[in-house]
Structure 1
Amino acid sequence: MAKSTIYAGLEIGTSKICVVVGEAKRDGTIKILGVGTAPSRGVRKGEIVDFQKVQTVLNDALVRAEEPSDVMIRTVFLGVTGGHIKSLNSRGAWRLQEDQGEITEDDVEEAKEIARNVEIPQDHVFLHSITRQYIVDGQEGVRQPIGREGRVLEADYHIIHGVRGRIQNAVKCVREVPLEVEDVVFTAIAAAQVVLNREAKAQGALMIDIGGGTADYVLYEDGMIAASGCVPLGGDHITQDIAMAVQIPDRRAEELKVTEGSCIFDDLSPEDIVRVEDDNGFMIAECERSFLNEVIHLRVREIFEQVKTRCEGHIGHLAAGIYLTGGTSLLKGIDVVAQDVFERKVTRAGSAPVSGVTATFEKPQFSAPIGLIRYAQILDQEKPFMSPLRKLGRKMADLLSVVP
């Protein structure tokens, strides 16, 4: 690895489009050189629905990131999400030759290929193939099998995949800016790189990144990814619920959610009334605070219940608990609801302190874009448990090469 390398991460989210420029140093640290963000347009539930609107906002965010960093951005690591993102765990077994004494690199590659040879929907493409562990003659938890004696080697993988067309559209939209896409990354994987430390992953932790249109999650057990995915619900759905319940415009509902709302509705007086005014100061609606908070609570609880259902069988192993990040994690009382649903310790977290990041960008809504820089650094260092997409069988790299 060179003395330092400059990377750019791009998150096209439902609420914002964010570009981060970071310097990965030889000692393993990273320094954020610039962050550009602009309110999102043309994105619904984490997926691009209007190229032109997205590209206009993206160009604005690019300028804001390039100016302080003094870097001309040409290539990005692109974060993607959406309800189409799925995952599974797969294990491949390889029997060594009878006269063979030790496991070789070729044996490891054979076991890997068998593990990766799984059936996914025909219209899907692999996003990530992440090594969980190796098993040698039934002994689990082996991190480096080469040189060990054994007869049967198994490779245990966590595989993440998504709809080819939707991912291809995101890549095409970015390339038309024009920017080259170095790699495509599921945003939960990126966010986890700066939200969860090694100890939390080893103890068992579930990170939920709740944005405007989606709730992305990744669960670790014994330092290994056990589950990941995306629930297509987020803060914008809460806003829409408020708008319908109180009968006010979405813009006022968003303001009401942020300034007056909470996820806790018990023990509130019926005389505690929230009033909504228009731009001229005239009252256009009012409701009991308990009613407003119950509307928020119900949707937040639904999000957590869906994540819990998808992670069934793993929740009891989360000694480090639940980590909430993303802009919607700033809602008052959201940690209380999460604790009630998961019955585990809950931590609200932004990105871990990173050189060059001001307090503004350590907020939870920037975990994923800053995490893209950390992810890029990990790939560059060729960490054995985060395999580059370019090494996959049914490659995302192949997909990138054919996008016009």
Structure 2
Amino acid sequence: METNEFAVGLDIGTTKIVAIVGRKNAHGKIEIMGVGQSKSLGVHKGIVNNISQTIGSIQAAVSEAEKSAGITIKNVTVGIAGKHIRSLQHSDYIMRDHPDQYITEGDIEQLKNQVKKLVMLPGEEIIHVLPQEYKVDSEGEIQEPVGMHGKRLEANFHVVVGQMGSIRNIARCVKEAGLEMEALTLEPLASSEAVLTQEEKEAGVAIVDIGGGTTDVAIFKDNIIRHTCVIPYGGGIITDDIKEGCSIIENHAEKLKVKFGSAVPELEKDSTYVTIPGLHGRSDKEISLKTLAQIINARVEEILEMVNNELKGYGAYEQKKKLIAGIVLTGGGSNLRHLRQLSNYITGFDARIGYANEYVANDKNQYLKGPEFATSIGLLMESLKIRDKKSVSSKGGEQTHEELEHKETELRTGGIEEATADSSVEKIEKNKPKLTLGQSIMEKVRKFFEEVE
């Protein structure tokens, strides 16, 4: 099987590491070829704090995915989260040399690259530059400027920034696990790819991805990313609270949360108890489900209040910026019973649970239905997009080269003096379109084979 036929998403989470292999079928849906999962060791609140343990966990997940898919994994698209992530709004513009020619993707890339040169705080690095609305000359609120004419191209950007050290640590772990990182994507953006519909993004929606160590938030309105943030609390801190509040070990606390946990104590009966086995011959412990729900509720309310503050900061309660589609809860933490009702109560927005299997064609046993796979499926979708772009770019690169080679041959064989031919070739070189990454790689490969011959 050719490498470009499949893609891989690698979700390096606080609780688990998931590697998911897939490809697009004839109908444009994703066909999952293999999934690998391992317990995440060495990651705390989305940040790597033990390199060797993280490498081991990545290798275990990737090895399992390779076995189930029957392929060898080399390139992966990796997700990033963590409390060090922040976002900002920025406006920038370029003056085009040839306003008589229409705006191309190259002009937009030039504008994006200009934004990437922004001076950040010490130790920070730009992860994403996401255009929101464009302005061509005096005409504003343009969604797609390609094909238009104009001298001044301007845009508002949503810029996502992270700590350079954390980014480098993830890259190092991936590399030392024997893999190549083809892209780094903010996890709430990946999750939104997997669980949000185009209509929701248009109407206005906030995705709240409750993971093990962090809660990631992304807000969309008019099909444009408006705000992103990472809250440094997730399902793990709820488990810690249960452990401390009930004086039990972590393993029992996690099982209690998953099987019997509820976010609303009022919906639990006072008379319902669950028995926890005692340690090494000690007597069993009885825990009231109402008490358990009260412990969970205190922490979940705190997380949702933080989410609500982010929504207020964006202006989600203003008429113009209102989130008509409300909130989509996803991630492993969204499996908590009655979380949707509590979210409705605290934020005032209607909420639903976001399942990641809508774009998956072959999930017959519903294994990937759980919201805990939203990020990994989103990363796989992002990886497939990158493959498609590279495929188109490399084809385009080959055609451009053939056309240029044909022109050069005509110049050399057309009875023109050598000096004239050379100057004409120079002109062609100047007019040669700027190659994309995929095209430049293809060009190098072609030259290498020419030299060998």
TM-score (normalised: structure 2): 0.78
Output the amino acid matched with 1:337. Answer: L
Determine if the alignment matches structure 1 residue 370 to structure 2 residue 377.
yes
Q: CA deviation at 1:284?
A: 4.2
Determine if the alignment matches structure 1 residue 123 to structure 2 residue 123.
yes
**Separation in 2, partners of 1:147, 1:53:** 50
Output the amino acid matched with 2:338. Answer: G
Q: CA deviation at 1:253?
A: 1.0
Determine if the alignment matches structure 1 residue 104 to structure 2 residue 103.
yes
**Separation in 1, partners of 2:180, 2:261:** 41
Aligned partner of residue 362 in structure 1, secondary structure: coil
Q: CA deviation at 1:62?
A: 1.7
**Aligned 8 A contact 2:332 2:372 in 1:** yes
Q: CA deviation at 1:279?
A: 6.2
**Aligned 8 A contact 1:93 1:115 in 2:** no
Which of 344, 350, 357 is the equivalent residue of 1:345? 350
Greater share of helix? 2
**Separation in 1, partners of 2:173, 2:62:** 14
List aligned pairs for 1:1-20, cutoff 5 A.
Answer: 5-20=5-20
List aligned pairs for 1:232-311, cutoff 5 A.
Answer: 232-266=232-266, 268-278=268-278, 283-311=283-311
Output the amino acid matched with 2:314. Answer: G
Output the amino acid matched with 2:375. Answer: A
Name stretches of at least 5 consecutive residues in structure 2 with no aligned partner.
391-435, 438-453
Q: CA deviation at 1:203?
A: 0.9
Do the aligned partners of residues 114 and 43 (structure 1) sit closer, same or farther apart at CA in structure 2, a change above 3 Å counting? closer
**Separation in 2, partners of 1:216, 1:24:** 27
List aligned pairs for 1:20-35, cutoff 5 A.
Answer: 20-25=20-25, 28-35=28-35
**Separation in 2, partners of 1:227, 1:120:** 18
Do the aligned partners of residues 12 and 96 (structure 1) sit closer, same or farther apart at CA in structure 2, a change above 3 Å counting? closer
**Aligned 8 A contact 1:195 1:350 in 2:** yes
Do the aligned partners of residues 379 and 59 (structure 1) sit closer, same or farther apart at CA in structure 2, a change above 3 Å counting? closer
**Separation in 2, partners of 1:117, 1:26:** 40
Aligned equivalent of 1:226: 226
Output one character per residue of 1:211-270: Cα deviation in whole Å (capped at 9) or x when no partner: 111111211010000011211101110000111111111111111111221001126454
**Separation in 1, partners of 2:111, 2:170:** 32
Q: CA deviation at 1:30?
A: 2.3
Output the amino acid matched with 2:50. Answer: D
Output the amino acid matched with 1:372. Answer: L
Greater share of strand? 1
List aligned pairs for 1:43-192, cutoff 5 A.
Answer: 43-94=43-94, 100-101=99-100, 104-105=103-104, 108-109=108-109, 111-137=111-137, 139-150=139-150, 152-192=152-192
- State percent identity of aligned pairs: 30
Output one character per residue of 1:151-173: Cα deviation in whole Å (capped at 9) or x when no partner: 64321221112111111111111
Aligned equivalent of 1:397: none
Determine if the alignment matches structure 1 residue 359 to structure 2 residue 358.
no
Output the amino acid matched with 1:5. Answer: E
With 289-298 and 86-95 compared, the bigger mean Cα shift is at 86-95
**Separation in 2, partners of 1:335, 1:281:** 40
Aligned partner of residue 160 in structure 2, secondary structure: strand
**Aligned 8 A contact 1:324 1:348 in 2:** yes
Output one character per residue of 1:261-285: Cα deviation in whole Å (capped at 9) or x when no partner: 1001126454444432236786443
Output the amino acid matched with 1:349. Answer: G
Aligned equivalent of 1:313: 314
**Separation in 2, partners of 1:56, 1:3:** 24
With 274-283 and 74-83 compared, the bigger mean Cα shift is at 274-283
**Aligned 8 A contact 1:7 1:24 in 2:** no
Output the amino acid matched with 2:103. Answer: T
Which of 303, 315, 327 is the equivalent residue of 2:332? 327
With 287-296 and 254-263 compared, the bigger mean Cα shift is at 287-296
**Aligned 8 A contact 1:33 1:356 in 2:** no
**Separation in 1, partners of 2:146, 2:354:** 37
Aligned equivalent of 1:386: none
With 178-187 and 102-111 compared, the bigger mean Cα shift is at 102-111
**Separation in 1, partners of 2:181, 2:108:** 29
After TM superposition, the runs of 4+ consecutive aligned structure 1 residues lying more than 6 A away are none
Q: CA deviation at 1:288?
A: 3.4
With 207-216 and 354-363 compared, the bigger mean Cα shift is at 354-363
**Aligned 8 A contact 1:261 1:292 in 2:** yes
Name stretches of at least 5 consecutive residues in structure 1 with no aligned partner.
384-389, 392-404
Q: CA deviation at 1:113?
A: 4.3
Do the aligned partners of residues 139 and 304 (structure 1) sit closer, same or farther apart at CA in structure 2, a change above 3 Å counting? farther
Aligned partner of residue 379 in structure 2, secondary structure: helix
Corresponding pairs, count:
383
Q: CA deviation at 1:192?
A: 1.0
Do the aligned partners of residues 110 and 342 (structure 1) sit closer, same or farther apart at CA in structure 2, a change above 3 Å counting? same
With 39-48 and 363-372 compared, the bigger mean Cα shift is at 39-48
Do the aligned partners of residues 21 and 88 (structure 1) sit closer, same or farther apart at CA in structure 2, a change above 3 Å counting? same
**Aligned 8 A contact 2:7 2:387 in 1:** no
**Separation in 2, partners of 1:111, 1:19:** 34
Output one character per residue of 1:1-41: Cα deviation in whole Å (capped at 9) or x when no partner: x9963111111111111111111357643211100112222
**Separation in 2, partners of 1:104, 1:57:** 46
**Aligned 8 A contact 1:90 1:118 in 2:** no
**Aligned 8 A contact 2:276 2:285 in 1:** yes
Which gives a bigger RCO, structure 1 or 2 (Cα 8 Å, sep 6+)?
1
List aligned pairs for 1:374-385, cutoff 5 A.
Answer: 374-382=381-389
